Amino acid sequence: MSENRTELSSLGEFGLIEHLTANIEIKNASTLVGVGDDAAVIDHFGKQTVITTDLLLDGVHFDLMYTPLQHLGYKSVIVNLSDVYAMNATPTHITMSIGVSNRFSLEAMDEFYEGVYAACEAYGVDLVGGDTANSQKGFVISVTAIGEVTPDKFVKRSTAKKGDLLCCSGDLGAAYIGLILLEREKRIFLENPQIKADLENEKYVIGRLLKPEARKDIIEFFEQAGVQPTSMMDISDGLSSEILHICRQSELGCVLYEEKIPISEETRNAAYKFELDPTACALSGGEDYELLFTVAQEDYEKLVLNEQISVIGYMTEPEKGKKIITKGGNTFDITAQGWNAFVSK
């Protein structure tokens, strides 16, 4: 960040908006009117529209002591795009609204928006609007993402079928370990600011927390391979919580195999350093932004072509409950211990 500091008050609200959106480049033909008018105009040319919104609050969803503003800008976009992909749709547009206090400079906002624009560029999304306001409570971020999907190809949580395979993308638990590591270093720093942070070469788990990616590649694979998930959602609150969401909304039970849950070696090794169970991190950690989905059994041969997809269980009759079978062969009920926005941590 530049050592110069420009106060936001020197620009005013509209001046700030004009500054932050001066270099927008439109990527989608569906964007008819973008930033600059009272509202954007979008034409999806016969496709159905998907809309989602997320709110990120300073001190609740992120900690600026260890979250670079550029990474925060990137992540604030990604968490919304992930929800669009979870509907089997393609994100095309976002709006970005922020509330900032006077402790933030124009240069800080430029750094944040560098991350926003990097995410938009990486995923082919247009920033078409938003708002800015003064905040008395730190940094407030509200993003709305808009996407498109071929009529009747969207996927809900409530449409899984008995016998469907339960699957997920990528690997799980890394973001939680990254959070544990950064929170430890924050505590050490607050106790003794002279001690240099020791991140123990844990680049992977820290990166999964601070700069996650949305699984655009998985949605593209579905289309190319001719796979239509029967239900889907993204994994933001921990695998166990998301599985229970699909079970409840589809009125089904499930069997989950512990040995099938994908956990990277980096995550496993980092968990052992903290004397944590890697499986527990995957089940309850959250913020992985992978996709959890079900498919018909006849699509199994297509799925094995993609190394980024793991079959981790299957759906059952509701009366059989929601079970996890451990590596030792024991069976337990799946319980939700993931993120709850209304419980103090």
**CATH value at residue 256:** 3.90.650.10
Structure confidence at residue 171 as a pLDDT band (50, 70, 90): very high
Output the DSSP codes for 215-258.
Answer: -HHHHHHHHHHT---SEEEEESS-HHHHHHHHHHHHT-EEEEEG
Domain final residue, candidates 121, 149, 177: 149
Residue 102 has pLDDT above 60, yes or no: yes
Structure confidence at residue 344 as a pLDDT band (50, 70, 90): very low
Distance CA 287, CA 339 (A): 9
Distance CA 45, CA 40 (A): 16
For the ranges 22-26, 46-50, 73-77, the lowest mean pLDDT is seen at 22-26
Residues 171 and 136 in one domain: no
Q: Is residue 344 part of a domain?
A: no
Q: The domain that contains 51 carries what CATH number?
A: 3.30.1330.10
DSSP 343: S
Residues 39 and 188 in one domain: no
Residue 40 has pLDDT above 90, yes or no: no
Q: What is the pLDDT of residues 177-202, one digit of tens each?
A: 999 999 999 998 888 887 777 776 78
Find the mean pLDDT for residues 5-27.
62
Q: Is residue 159 part of a domain?
A: no
Q: What is the pLDDT of residue 137?
A: 74
Q: Is residue 69 part of a domain?
A: yes
**Mean pLDDT over all residues of the chain?**
88
Q: What is the pLDDT of residues 233-272, one digit of tens each?
A: 999 999 999 999 999 999 999 999 999 999 999 999 999 9
Q: What is the pLDDT of residue 307?
A: 96
Residue 216 has pLDDT above 70, yes or no: yes
Residue 345 has pLDDT above 50, yes or no: no
Domain final residue, candidates 93, 119, 149: 149
Find the mean pLDDT for residues 24-48.
67
Which residue is associated with the tokens 């799946």? 334
Residue 291 has pLDDT above 50, yes or no: yes
Residue 170 has pLDDT above 90, yes or no: yes
Domain final residue, candidates 100, 123, 149: 149
For the ranges 132-146, 252-266, 294-308, the lowest mean pLDDT is seen at 132-146
Residues 179 and 306 in one domain: yes
Q: What is the pLDDT of residue 331?
A: 95
Residue 340 has pLDDT above 50, yes or no: no
Residues 31 and 94 in one domain: yes
Q: Is residue 83 part of a domain?
A: yes
Q: Is residue 245 part of a domain?
A: yes
Which of 41-45, 97-101, 321-325 has the highest mean predicted lDDT (pLDDT)? 321-325
Beta strands in 124-209 (DSSP E): 126-134, 140-149, 165-169
Judge whether 263 and 312 are in contact, CB under 8 Å: no
Residue 113 has pLDDT above 80, yes or no: yes
Residues 202 and 105 in one domain: no
Residue 126 has pLDDT above 60, yes or no: yes
Residues 133 and 236 in one domain: no
Structurally, the chain folds into a number of domains equal to 2
Residues 195 and 306 in one domain: yes
Residues 190 and 42 in one domain: no
Q: Is residue 339 part of a domain?
A: no
Residues 171 and 281 in one domain: yes
Q: What is the pLDDT of residue 204?
A: 96
Q: What is the pLDDT of residue 341?
A: 41
Q: Is residue 220 part of a domain?
A: yes
Residues 140 and 254 in one domain: no
Q: Structural domain of residue 124, as residue ranges?
A: 8-149
Residues 15 and 137 in one domain: yes
User: Which of 32, 34, 15 has its CA nearest to residue 24?
Assistant: 34
Residues 178 and 305 in one domain: yes
